[in-house]
Structure 1
Amino acid sequence: MSASNYEQHNTALLIVDPYNDFMTEGGKLFNAIKETADASHMFDNLRQIIPTVRAAGIQVFIVPHHRSHPGDFDHWQHINMFQQAGLPTKAFEVGTWGGEFNPEFGPQPGDVVIKEHWAQSGFANTDLDLQLKQHGIQKIILVGLIANSCIESTGRFGMELGYHVTLVKDATAAFSHAGMVAAQTNAPMFAHAILTTDELLSKLPVHVA
């Protein structure tokens, strides 16, 4: 499939983890991603990508991380080290401002909000594959957080399921520069297209009223 042809009927934008705790100043993890987000100009680039995608008639999917609840991992046999490290933070805590979607980058009417993923992949133990198939989607464009965990894992899983995967490398961020380097080093293993925001925008269909 050509990376230069993102048709409205079979392309989707996946916005991963657009919570206040990540994407809004004052969020629990905002400062942790701020340095790399500033370096990639992630926020400014999302402000270009998301409205352009919506105007082009491309379906938007919100792919959210599991929100923290008391006792989430009690009696788990194999809690991941990242999940363990996050327990004191209670990031994206249910019932709190941080666990709500950022009003600018989160869902709008007409978006599809996917069930929350527990670890990294937006496909694992969620309805993402089902929803994409029901909407006739063959090509997924990935933006959001975190570059070397949820973005990479979702992209890898999507490729294995047969989707055409596009990574927008300057519309994501990580907890460190090393995380960004790792994500971009690994991207050719799963992404069919690795684009900048400007490159993506030049390939999107022109909206026809």
Structure 2
Amino acid sequence: MPDLAKSALILIGFQNDYFSPKGILHTVVEESSRVTGVVNNTLNLLDKRANDFGLVVNTPIHFTEDYSELNNPIGILKVIADVGAFKVGSFGAQVIEELKPYLNVIQEVPGKRGLNAFTHTNLYQLLCDNGITDIVLAGTVTSICIDSTGRSGVEAGFNVTVLSDCTSSRTPFEQDFYCNEVFPLYATVCSSQILLRQ
């Protein structure tokens, strides 16, 4: 298990468009989020261990009004542009209300415009500057942003842990498949309860 003092808890996708009932993409992750308890489990981890992590980082995704930063998007990024999600300044792009009590310990890393929290951000430099050796991933969508960030983290030299009960995907099946079959190929998978017992 990671040494929390040398670990960064990286929060991905904790925004209204995914987690608010009014969010444009709420139905995409609603069932999996309910099954894993992603929001409540992440809040519980923050409540009990936020100050023990070397860093707690939030990496929200934001787009301009016309999505000009996306060049011929396909898949989920095309869906985001088509439905108008995560526009800067919109309700959907804002951090979820439940995270606001922890903003004093959460450092926001801006610049995420796609699947990977390392791309177009200063996340790598921030982790290095703070002596971080391990990254712990929480958020959504498991099969996309969590996986992309986790793989890049490994390639950048970090040890990666994915929290199975602090992440969610498009379906419970997809969540279980990634946690059981994909993530163990390059990362440690565990529940937040393991970190709470450290």
**Greater helix proportion:** 2
Please tell me whether residue 48 in structure 1 is matched to residue 44 in structure 2: yes
Q: Taking every aligned residue pair, what percent have the same amino acid on both sides?
A: 21
Task: Find 2:56's aligned residue among 52, 57, 60.
Answer: 60
Deviation (angstroms), 1:79: 2.4
Q: After the TM superposition, which residues 72-91 of structure 1 pair with which residues of structure 2 at under 5 Å, given as runs?
A: 72-73=67-68, 76=71, 78-91=72-85
**Which whole-Å CA distance do the structure 2 matches of 1:12 and 1:75 have between them?**
28
Instruction: Give the AA of the match of 1:109.
Output: N
Please say which structure displays the higher CA radius of gyration.
Answer: 1
TM-superposition CA deviations, 1:59-118 (whole Å, max 9, x none): 2111112x2323224782x42332122222111122211111112225612422112322
Tell me how far 1:31 sits from its aligned partner.
2.4
What is the number of residues matched between the two proteins?
A: 196
SS, match of residue 72 in structure 1: coil
Name the SS of the counterpart of 1:170 in structure 2.
strand
Counterpart in the other structure of 2:133 = 138
Question: For 1:162, which of 120, 145, 157 is the aligned residue?
Answer: 157
Q: Is residue 127 of structure 1 aligned with residue 122 of structure 2?
A: yes
- Mapped partners of 1:165, 1:56: distance in 2: 17
**Structure 1 residue 55 displacement after superposition:** 3.7
Counterpart Cα distance in 1 of 2:70 and 2:192: 43
Structure 1 SS opposite 2:136 = strand
TM-score normalized with structure 1 length: 0.85
Structure 2 stretches lacking a partner, 5+ long = none
- Show the counterpart of 2:93: 99
State the distance in 2 between where 1:19 and 1:54 align: 19
Equivalent-residue separation in structure 2 for 1:90 and 1:122 (angstroms):
20
SS of corresponding position for 2:14: coil
Distance 2:178 2:113 in 1: 20
Q: What corresponds to 2:13 in structure 1? A: 17
TM-score for both structures, normalised by structure 2: 0.90
SS in 1 for 2:82: coil
Contact kept, 8 Å, 2:63 with 2:69, in 1: the verdict is no
Task: Determine the C-alpha separation between the residues in 1 that align with 2:64 and 2:118.
Answer: 21
Runs of 5+ unmatched residues, structure 1: 204-209
